[in-house]
Every structure is written in C-alpha cells, then in structure tokens.
Structure 1
Amino acid sequence: MANPNMERKLRCTIIGAGVSGILMAYKLQKHLSEYVDFWIYEKSPELGGTWYENRYPGCACDVPSHVYQYSFAPNPEWSQYYASSAEIQQYLKTVVHHFNLEKFIHYNSPITHASWDPSRAVWTVLVENHGAVDSELLINASGILNHPQMPDIRGLSTFQGPLLHTASWDPAIRLENKRVAVIGAGASAIQLLPKIQPICAQVDVYIRTPSWISPPVALQHDGTDTNKNKNNNKNPCYSKDDITRFRTDTQQYLSTRKQMESQFNDKFRAFMKKTPEQRALRAQFEDRMKQLLPDPYLQSKLIPSFEVGCRRINPGEEYLVALQKPNVHPVFDRIQQIGPEGVTVQRNSDEHHRPVDILIAATGFNTTFRPRFPIVGAGGANLQDLWSGEPTAYMGLAVAGFSNYL
C-alpha cells in the first residue's frame, strides 16, 4: 500500500549498468520501490561494464566464479573456476532479466555533465540522446576499469600497422601468422599471451615489471572434479556432475562457496609484512615459478624481487609456459621508440629494431577516481578538480559539498 503521507517519490539517477549499477537497481527495486523512482544511464550498447568492454582473447576474472557473484543470485552453472568475461556478462544479463531490471536501463546514453542545484535540491544530469534529467539522488556507478591507458612511448602514433588495446579490442583484426608485439606484463598480458601465441608467427612481449604468478587455485576438499587437474597450469573446468550437484544440493553449493571465501580470507596474514605466512606464500610461489621456468635467466627476470601482494597476484601459469615457446620472445630491454614498422629497444649502448605487423598495448586502465565528466557540487566546486590528486570521501561514499551524491 502506498504511503498516504508522501507527496511524491524521490528520483534517483544511476550512472552505469555494470556490477555496481545493477546491484543498486536490484536493491532499490526490492526495498525502496514505494519511495524511489530510478533509472540507469549506460554509455555502452550493452550492460556489463568492464565485462562488456574487455573482450580480448583470454579475458577472465581472477576471482573464482562462485565467489564473484551476487549473494542474492547464486549461479551453479559456472563452467570454469575462473569465468571468462563473456560468461560473466551473460550472468549479469541473466540477473537483470530474472529480476526485471531491463526496463530501467537506457543504453547508448553517456553522461556529459552533472550539477547540483541547491535552490531546488536536485541534480541535473546532461545525457546524450536524453537532454537534461533531474533527480534528488545521484549514484555514480561508472567504475574505473573502463578508460584504457595507452603507453607513453615516443613514436607510438607513427606506427603504420593496427594498434590495439586490450580494453578496446577489435575482433576484426586478425592475428594469424602475424608478427605481434605485446607491451605490458600485467593481468591482461598474462591472460592474452597464451591465447594468441599458437596462432601468431611471432610474439614479442615487452616486460618492464614482472608479476607474481600463482598456481591454479582449486579447493582440496570441495568434492568437485576440478581437483583432478589442480596441479596443471590450466583453468579448471567444472564437470556436468559438479554443476548438477551444485544445482540440486543447495546446501552443498552454499558450503562450497563459503569454503572458497574462507580460503581467500584465511590468507590475509600472507599480505602482512614479514609474517611467517607471507614468507611461506612467497616461497610457494617462487618454487612453483622456478619449476615452470628452468632457465636461470628467465627466473632472474620474471620472478619479482618485491613481496607477494605488493601488486595484484595473477593466476596465469600458462603465461609462463607461453613465454618459452619458440615463436615468443620476452624482451626486458627498455623501449626506445616505436616507428612506422616496429619497435626499437635500447640494449646497453646499442639500439635493436624488431619489425612488427600489429601492436597490442596491454597497459591497463587509467584507474584514477577523478570523474570523466564534470560533476559540480555546492559553490561550483568540480569533483574533477577536487579529485585530481587523491580522492577523499566520508566512509568512501559521501563527498563534502556534494549532497545526495554517492
């Protein structure tokens, strides 16, 4: 029954239909539909956020699938321990369909400006294809993994071949039998290389800073068939029996999910400086990487000197295997410049040129919390300016001078 004392509902604008925006829509519909009208503006033609935009070969989540999901929408159907970006996006589409959230989403609707009007106590948001939209509440769920960071290398713009970034992948560009250069050695490069190595004539991988590579994680006592291949360097797949058991035995499925979460939570002390747990985890990772890298030179270049946890850990042992294939050349020399036909590196006092057909920047994102568009609060303060350095917010949510903005 509607509240007879309420003149009208509050209005809420949500920016972004990724994981966070979908969650907010679900919560508002479930708990506050009597009090709040809301809508989502999504800049892309599909929902999913980073799981729509990142489509490069091998793109996957580095958190186990059965942990990387909404608690209110458990999915026993995950096909692999680490789900692909496509499978995660499909899961999000399924959630939106199941809870009838599609009607709230406006696609191809990027935000260009948002401003707070204290005289009316409303936010006015300028939306491409929609004009000005007013609401009392503004929820920014646009995320930070959606703005590709191109490498700052002299001559990059002079390269005459295709230039790709893992975060804006063009599937129309074919890599078969091509000479390819991959710049970067973080998560996206670690996932990409094993997928493109078999089809490329040559792959040069330019590595500045190595990453800790973890073994595939499979629960030792979860009763699933993933344990049968937990010691190889693959992403374990769930068998039909596993999926059927998860689907039919909800208590076992809940127990498995809790066990996965506990496995990660129990490693908290391994990320504390100079603890026995950290020393043990580092020894485990280092021993395993040495097994996969018998060449002492590669060990010296690819096993980090910093502690485990200083950078994100990557479950990508296939990457280490791919680096040792005959058509792959790990390059540790500094890139001097990029020319029309390839890459020039500085090795001691000499320059060496490597011809390349296709350049791939696996250089991640601009992860600053600075908004991509002006957000103007009380007194004309622009959050772009206030957060040009370090972002500051109460409890990570509320910003002084920006009423009703989260």
Structure 2
Amino acid sequence: MMLRQPDHEIVVVGAGFSGIGASIKLQEAGFDDHVLLEEGDGVGGTWHWNTYPGIGVDIPSYSYQFSFEQRGDWSRVYAHGHELKAYAEHCADRYDVRRRVRFGTRVAAARFDEDAELWILTTTTGEELAARFVIGATGVLTQPKRPDVPGLDAFAGTTMHTARWDHDVDLRGARVGIIGTGASAVQVIPSIAEEVEHLTVFQRTPIWCLPRPDGPVPAPVRAALSRVPGAKALARLAAQAFVEATFPIPAHFDGIVKVGRGAEALGRAWLRSQVHDPATRAALTPAYGVGCKRPSFSNTYLATFNRDDVTLETSPIERVTPSGVRCAGGRHDLDVLLLATGFQVMEATNMPPFRLTGRGDVELAAWWGEHRMQAYQGVSVPGFPNYFAVLGPYAYNGASYFTLIENQVRHIVRCLRRARDTAATTVEVTAEANERYFREMLGRRDRQIFFQPSCAGANSYYFDEHGDVPFRSALTLESAWRSARFDLADYRFSAPAGAAAP
C-alpha cells in the first residue's frame, strides 16, 4: 500500500510572533518546506486580534522584540499596540515570512498517522494537509474567555469582548459597564472614562497596580539608540533586567529572596497617592501578595476611580438582565457591556486550541487530564511524536515573551536538525526525560510565590484544573542555556521501515 506523502515537511500553526520567529529560524536552518496556517487575515497574533482603546505592551518595548531584529526607534518606553502590530508586519516582510502564510485558515484538529508517520491536519473548512512535523505557535492571548455569568446572552444592548473590539460601536455618551479588572481592563478603563456618560467597573478580585516608568522617547534618544553601536543592545539588556526583577525573580524565588514584600509596599504607597476615597482605596487593595497574579503597571488606572462618573462595583454579579447588570449591591442600567475577562490560558484545550490526537488515538487534552499538564521543557509530550510547542506547560517563566520564543525555537530546531542529519522520520521525547523534567519543576514549588499562603485569595488564572501552575520555575538565563544544551538523547530519533523521508 502506498503511504501518504507530506504536503509540507513542517506546518507551523499560527502567524503571531511565535510563528514568525519559528519561520525565521527554520529558514535560517535550511528548512524551506514549511507553511504557516493562520486563522486571521494578518500577522501579529495577539497584536492583530486585540485593538481595544489603550492597548499596549505591559513590559518595556526594548525587551519586547527579537534579539536579532532590535528597534531603537520605539515612540514610547511602553509601545502602543499599533507599533507592535507594525513590528510584526516588518518582521514578516523583512524575513520573507509572509509568502509562507495561509491566512483565513483555522486548524480544527490534527491526528498522527502512525503508518505514514505524518500529522494529518484538518481545517474548519474540511481541508486536509499532511506534514512530517508540526509546530504549535498559537500563543495564549488569542482565544477570548467569556465570563460564566447568568443571563449574559439576554442583554439587549451591545456586548463586546475586549479581544474582539468593534470600532463601529460609539461609546460617547453611553452608559458602559466593564466586567474584569485584569491587564486589559487596566488599559481600557482610563482610555474610555472621559468619553462615556458613566462607567461601571465590576471587580471580582483587585489587581496590584504599580507605577509605570513610561513616557515618549525623545527624538535624540531614538536617534542615538538607532545609530550608536551597541546602544540598542544595552537598552534591551536594561529592559530585560527590569522585567526579570519584576516577575521571574519574585515569582519563582519568593521562598528565598522575598522581593514581593518591597513591591507590595510600593503598590500600597502608589494606591495612597492615587486614590482619594479611603473606601475605594480599600476596595482596590489586593488581599494577596504581589506576584500571585501578574501585576499591572499603569500611571492612569487607579486615578480613574476618583471620577464622579466612574463607579467601582465589588458586590457579586447575580445576573445580566436585558437592561444591564444586577448585583447583590444593586442594579446598573447599561447601554454597552464590555467583557475584559481575559483568555483561555492554562487550559488543556488551549495548548493548542484544536484537538490533537497522538499515538493510540490518545487526545492530548485527555492525556493531560489523566496525567496533569506537562511537557518536556515546555516543548514535547511523549506519545505525540513530531509535534513541538512553542508554549507548552512549564515553558514560560514570566519574562519577555520573545525570550520564550527564541529559547523554545532553538530547542525545536536542534531536534529537527538531528532528525535531518540522521534521516529520522519520527522524533519523540522519552517518557523518562519528560518525567524527570516534570518532577524537577514540581520540586521547585517551595520557592515559588504561587504556593505561599499569601496567594490563597488571588483567584489566579495561572492555576490549572489540577491545582498546578505550569510556569517554568527558572530564570531566563537558565532557560536559554538549557535550550541550547539539553541532551538530544532525551529524544528518540527513528526511521521506521517503509516510512518515506520528506
């Protein structure tokens, strides 16, 4: 029987920064036969889908970029969303990625054909593509999560998730409610407060908000960063150090260095300086430690609650009605209801956001349901050969997403090069290597902030259904070192008889 041949050696699912970075490094390593499948009609992922008012990067721009394609002309220390979208377009064009992207193509399922040693991907239109290898580059901040609130579909006004903003909706003079006070809400709330008639913020859990060292970058500084040798690298290094100090270190070493205590003192002082009313200030004060959830940085969010036309509602939502929202503390009539309720993040069905079936017809989500979410260095899972994730469980340490991309793609390309050099048609992490890495991550919990008593009331989306926090408990330097030096013997490389190499 003639075995099916691959349509492409490699399929990359997603054309956000993960997919763009993967494509660039695949080309650099000589893997030209690859295609990117992208649901949207443009590149950029998070920065393509998210266009809400006030959107911007939540870490300094100089760290939020590829190390091999650094910009020195960011307009602000924390760039606005349109600049990140433009940067994605620039990278896709400069590195000839765009011609490899199939836009408007959403993957519904991927199944491993054990006879042909191929992945068969099925799109939502029913098309099938066969690939020797698949790289999941779908990120996490793309699939909106609606709140579990009774009556949500009954609202007679306009309902809109911040991740799918409709710019045809005019908020001027409208009574607007927003559910959520996470990272998106922190940016949206001060951006729309001045134009709406009244804004009601429905808060379940307050967020730690710290001052942001932001502002326009003066033209002479931009010019110097662009032209002076080494200036961009120094700016990136400083930004990386700031990011490392504000999340990875306090989050993963709280049991050792207690950095969060100083950050909490800063957060309380910032609250006192920004919010006039003591009762409102108390309602905005988190009852958990800094780092249990990712803190936000904003110079305008907290002060917005001083406005007479902004209401902070902290009593539980009972239900959404046709005319607005009914809470335990009263009723709020609304014209527009905004859902700033985040994304499907630490959910098995979001890594990746399509059905993935490996050896023995085992689905990845079901495997994780039985064995807990885990992946060798966040990349590979035993039983799912030839599939690599840019962002799997225990991959991300909380630093710049670009360091994650570069580290994970380095890991993946090392595997693909070994497969090419040995004419292997299957690459599969061993169960022993996966178990060793998983136990290592679990063994570092005692030093992480997530499992300290101070995080008991955080209600953090970092926790998965098993009570685990599948973050990589490591500094960025360790992650980078291991991606370049992990033992390739942790994988099995084989070419079964009868399987045709790509």
Given the two structures, how large is their TM-score scaled by the length of structure 1?
0.89
Point out where structure 1 has 5 or more consecutive residues left out of the alignment. 1-7, 218-234
Q: Distance in 2 between matches of 1:274 and 1:293?
A: 33
- The alignment status of 1:403 with 2:398, answered yes or no, reads no
Partner of 1:238: 217
Q: In the alignment, what sits opposite 1:356?
A: 334
Question: How many matched pairs?
Answer: 376
Paired residue for 2:181?
A: 185
SS at match of 2:33: strand
- Structure 1 counterpart of 2:235, which letter? T
Contact kept in structure 2, 1:270 and 1:281, CA below 8 Å: no
Cα separation, 2, equivalents of 1:9 and 1:356: 52
Contact kept in structure 2, 1:148 and 1:165, CA below 8 Å: yes
Tell me, yes or no, if structure 1 residue 126 matches structure 2 residue 122.
Answer: yes
Deviation track 1:332-362 (CA, whole Å, cap 9, x = no partner) reads: 1111111111111113xxxx21110000011
| TM-score for both structures, normalised by structure 2 | 0.72
**Aligned 1:70-109 pairs, distance under 5 A:** 70-109=66-105
**Corresponding position of 1:344:** 326
Contact kept, 8 Å, 1:19 with 1:49, in 2: the verdict is: yes
Match of 2:64 in 1: 68
Letter in 1 for 2:27: Q
Equivalent residue for 2:45?
49
CA distance in 2, matches of 1:68, 1:177: 36
269 and 76 in structure 1: CA distance in 2 versus 1, 3 angstrom threshold: closer
Which letter does structure 2 place at the counterpart of 1:358?
Answer: V
Q: For residue 317 of structure 1, report the CA deviation from its aligned partner.
A: 2.8
Match 1:383 to one of 357, 361, 364 = 364
Aligned pairs for 1:191-206 within 5 A: 191-206=187-202
Report what 1:314 is aligned to: 296
Are the aligned partners of 2:7 and 2:130 in contact in 1 as well (CA < 8 Å)? no
Alpha carbons of structure 1 residues 358 and 136: separation in structure 2 relative to 1, 3 Å = same
Match of 2:12 in 1: 14
Corresponding residue of 1:265: 244
- Matching residue's letter, 1:360: L
Superposition RMSD in Å: 1.8
Describe the shift of the 1:177–1:283 C-alpha distance in structure 2 as closer, same or farther (beyond 3 A): same
Report the CA distance between 1:388 and its aligned residue: 4.3
Question: Following TM superposition, by how much is the alpha carbon of 1:9 offset from its aligned partner in structure 2, in angstroms?
Answer: 11
Contact kept in structure 2, 1:191 and 1:319, CA below 8 Å: yes
Tell me the equivalent position of 2:451: none
Shift of 1:51: 0.9
Counterpart position of 2:263: 281
User: What residue number does 2:231 align with?
Assistant: 252
User: Percent identity between the aligned chains?
Assistant: 28
- 1:130/1:247 CA distance change after superposition, 3 Å: farther
Give the direction of change, closer, same or farther, for the CA distance of 1:396–1:22 in structure 2 (3 Å limit).
same
> How many Å separate the matches in 1 of 2:207 and 2:242?
22
Within the alignment, does 1:302 sit opposite 2:274 as a pair?
no
In the aligned structure 1, how far is the partner of 2:361 from the partner of 2:308? 59
Q: Which shows bigger deviation, 319-328 or 178-187?
A: 319-328
What SS does the aligned partner of 2:297 have? coil
Inter-partner Cα distance in structure 2 for 1:131 and 1:292: 55
What is the CA deviation profile of residues 119-157 of structure 1, one whole-angstrom value per residue up to 9, with x for unaligned ones? 111111123568221111011111221111111111111
Deviation at 1:275, TM superposition (A): 4.1
Classify the secondary structure of the residue corresponding to 2:122.
Answer: strand
Partner of 1:22, secondary structure, is: helix
Change in CA separation of 1:197 and 1:120 when aligned onto 2, cut-off 3 Å: same
Deviation of residue 241 (structure 1)? Answer: 1.1
